[in-house]
Chains A and B, each alone.
Chain A
Amino acid sequence: MKKTKASTVLAIVTALAVLAGCGGGGGSASGTKQQGSGAQGESDQPVAITIMANLHTPEVPSDKIEKLIEEKTNTKLEIQWVPDGTYDEKVNASFATGTLPQVTLLKNAASLINMRDAIRNGQFWEIGPYLQDYPNLSKLKPEVLKNTAVDGKIYAIYREVPLSRQGIIYRKDWADKLGLGAPTTIDEFYEMLKQFKENDPDGNGQNDTIPLTDRNDLVYGAFKTVSSWFGTPNNWGEKDGQLLPEFMFPEYVETMKFFKKLHQEGLINQDFPVTSKTDQQNLLTTGKAGVYIGAMGDVSSLEPKVLEINPDAELDVQNKIDGGPNGFGVWSVPGYGSVTLFPKTAIKTEEELKQVLSFVDQLMSPELANLIYWGIEGEHHTLEDGQVITTEDTKLWDREVKPYQVLQVGGPLTVEGFLEAKHTRPVKAKAEALIVENNDFLIEDPAAALDSKTYNEKGVQLQELIKDATYRFMLGDIDEDGFQAAVDNWLNSGGQQIIDEFNASNEASK
């Protein structure tokens, strides 16, 4: 058998050499199809641009809008659509094999954090110094760009999102029937839930309503929004001049206690830690539940469903809940949704980068920004008093317009002449107005632009400890001591390092 072992080793060594060849070369040897584009850029030849973007629709998108973009920017686009659920895997695999396209979208802040080391290593173009040269890109907000920066340098452009969409959606007809107004304090909110539970708001003679419907998400579900009412900081907060995670603040514990009470008294769906968003919304649309906390914009998809089952139902939205000493408050996101990076493996020269940036700049022009977001007038929307009414044909919209919305650069705050929607549903219009109003009392995340090595490595895993403890507290599985033990565990397993590193990063950025 000796010989066999030797030959196995030999085979593996050969294999290694082959792989190393590929892996080492991954950075340089694998520029893709667009190599020729740089040289012929100045002629009238369309410039080839490759893009990778996540797809949110069930279908393969139609290329109607793509063709129009190509025509208006004199480019030849090659868009790799990747299903949203597998997007990060595809980005990682493409990155490791040096096959990222010129314009690479990252889904969200978490994906950007995962790329930080690579960015530091110079795998992507630093675009900060170039932005001022472009009429539209120069309008991107510095304070948002700062949140995407790595070591203070700007590598990414962003797609704008509203700072905070959070609020309450509730059954106004139920509240009216019981003589309740929109809740303005936590006590009134609790009272509403209690009455919804006890006083048979749906009038079916049975005590079968679930007042609040929530889901398995501590952030975009109800928990974080309610924690804002109590005055909990957003992810990180300052105490005695030091940054500490939100769960080390008493307000966080207050919020947990509140939920524990709701759970014990049957004012929230008993299964909320395992309820999917679909099931959560289902409880509201089928008239089992009366209150929903989350993105207020969801009302536009919820209302028609509620009405289909019960034409007499009425939904309303509400945002300002006074939690006592701190006044109103609602947590906010750092101002960007997805971001776009420009890999050096695909963009070889500065000249090529300028071409790509010029293309991206054009996407931000009013004409193209509106085309990307609203589609073609007369086909996908109509204009009324300068406002957009989108088509009722959701299938057409999903196929031809919606996928391209991810390509949007900037947004209403940064694109002049970005068309506004005319909401045919009054409650949707109200929701949009409240989202704007939220801007008056935002609780921002002070650590959004900060960096911690330990957090990048272990943050997600450690956060699970806190998530578990939070749920178990709310369900009455552990008490305050138990929760404190979980926090201690978090501190000992690397949390203290995260605190130290964020504080150091905070000092450095001042």
Chain B
Amino acid sequence: MVHDKTIPSRIFDIVNYTLLLIIGLVTILPFLHVIAGSFTTVAELAQKRFVLFPTEWSLDAYRYIFSTNTIFKSLGVSVGVTFFGTMFSMLLTCLMAYGLSRKDLDGRNFIMFMVVFTMLFSGGMIPTFLVVKELGMIDTYAALIVPTAINAFNLIIMRNFFQNLPEGLEESAKIDGAGDWGILFRIVIPLSMPAIATISLFYAVTYWNTYMQAILYLNDGAKWPVQVILRQIVILASGLTADTSSMEDFVRPPEQTVKMAVIVVATLPILCVYPFLQKHFAKGALLGSIKG
């Protein structure tokens, strides 16, 4: 690739890099505070309130949350649900999105409208609960995956990406004798890796953040994913529930450092997904290579 070395272009780069660096720092500071807060003492956090670099280091918060296996178990659940859920969702979404991207398909606009309609109108929690119950999914992990298998937003984005693939591809594949399934799996999907990576990430994050479904559909606390534990600690530690019930003697909220530590532990795994997908976002990564 030829690099553009003109002076205006250089200036552009310098300004651009500087701005991005500033933006990056501003967005990351609160998270650094959370990390620093998880490694400091209760007293230091209470006095400084905003810590970026602890002067008194302490691992107490991590010792506290790892002293039982609750967190490990719930992390395991979350990883499992996220992995299988993403697979399942991507399969359904890709199939449907590709189908709906075909311009010669009768009824396409109607189905699309039907999909968009579900983004606007929803029957709410209780009717969905009834469906899940009738399908016998209460207290199973399927209840965390199947009822949210396709996200209409993701479907629409996916379809948009498929639609933007160069027109001629399918035709030439057909001439070569490929069927619709073959075209999808051997040509369209490999050519859409940036989109696949994006939508997989979206699904993975949604599954990772599953909270309400877990509360509603899982009666057995041993099956809880990490978000339930995380929210319970954050809400207790932020003093958000305390006074609604007259239980003050019972409620001894977790320390702030523990809150920070559990955020770190529950967030790091999903944060790690992104860097693995990033190579698919490199400029011109795909189309450039197959055009030739």
Contact = CB atoms under 8 A, between A and B. Distances in A.
Do A and B touch, yes or no (CB under 8 Å, in the complex)? yes
Interface of A: 4, 19, 22-23, 26, 30, 54-61, 78, 80-86, 89-90, 92-93, 96-97, 99, 107-108, 110, 161, 165, 215, 217, 219-220, 276-279, 281-282, 285-286, 295, 297-298, 301, 305, 308-309, 333, 337-338, 394-395, 398-399, 402, 405-406
Given A56-B251, A59-B68, 9 more contacts: A19-B127, A22-B134, A60-B222, A60-B229, A83-B215, A89-B215, A99-B138, A108-B246, A282-B46
Contacts of B47: 286, 309
Nearest to B218: A80
A5 B134 CA distance: 28
10 contacts: A56-B247, A56-B250, A83-B215, A85-B231, A89-B216, A107-B244, A278-B238, A309-B47, A395-B67, A398-B252
Give 3 nearest A-B pairs by CB, closest first: A277-B239, A220-B243, A22-B130
Query: Which of B131, B252, B256, B262 lies at the interface centre, i.e. has the most chain A CB atoms within 10 A of its CB?
Result: B252
B12 interface: no
Contacts of A55: 221, 232
A292 to B, nearest CB: 13
B222 A58 contact: no
B221 A60 contact: yes
Contacts of A399: 68
A415 to B, nearest CB: 16
Nearest to B215: A86
Interface size class of B (residues with CB under 8 A): 35 or more
B247 A82 contact: no
Nearest to A26: B130
B64 to A, nearest CB: 6
A99 B217 CA distance: 11
Contact of B240 (A60, A93, A276, A298): A276
A402 B231 CA distance: 19
Contacts of B221: 55, 60-61, 80-81
A344 B233 CA distance: 34
Contacts of A217: 243
Contact of B245 (A107, A278, A281, A286): A107
Query: Which of B240, B242, B258 lies at the interface centre, i.e. has the most chain A CB atoms within 10 A of its CB?
Result: B242
Contacts of B131: 22
Contacts of B232: 55, 57-58, 83-85
Contacts of B248: 165, 220, 295, 297-298
Contacts of B9: none
B271 to A, nearest CB: 22
Query: Which of A59, A165, A338 lies at the interface centre, i.e. has the most chain B CB atoms within 10 A of its CB?
Result: A59
Query: Which of B64, B212, B239, B251 lies at the interface centre, i.e. has the most chain A CB atoms within 10 A of its CB?
Result: B239
Contacts of A107: 244-245
A237 to B, nearest CB: 21
B222 A276 contact: no
B216 A90 contact: yes
B233 A58 contact: yes
B95 interface: no
Given A54-B245, A60-B222, A295-B248, A93 B127 contact: no
A85 B133 contact: no
B239 A83 contact: no
Nearest to B44: A309
B171 to A, nearest CB: 30
A58 B258 contact: yes
Contacts of A277: 239, 242-243
B43 interface: yes
A83 B244 CA distance: 13
Nearest to B232: A83
B142 to A, nearest CB: 17
Nearest to B222: A60
A448 B80 CA distance: 49
A212 B31 CA distance: 32
A217 B64 CA distance: 30
Given A90-B215, A99-B133, A298-B248, A308 B42 contact: yes
A285 B46 contact: yes
Given A22-B134, A305-B42, A337 B238 contact: no
B90 to A, nearest CB: 27
Contacts of A281: 239
A23 B220 CA distance: 24
A297 B126 contact: no
B254 A276 contact: no
B227 to A, nearest CB: 11
B43 A309 contact: yes
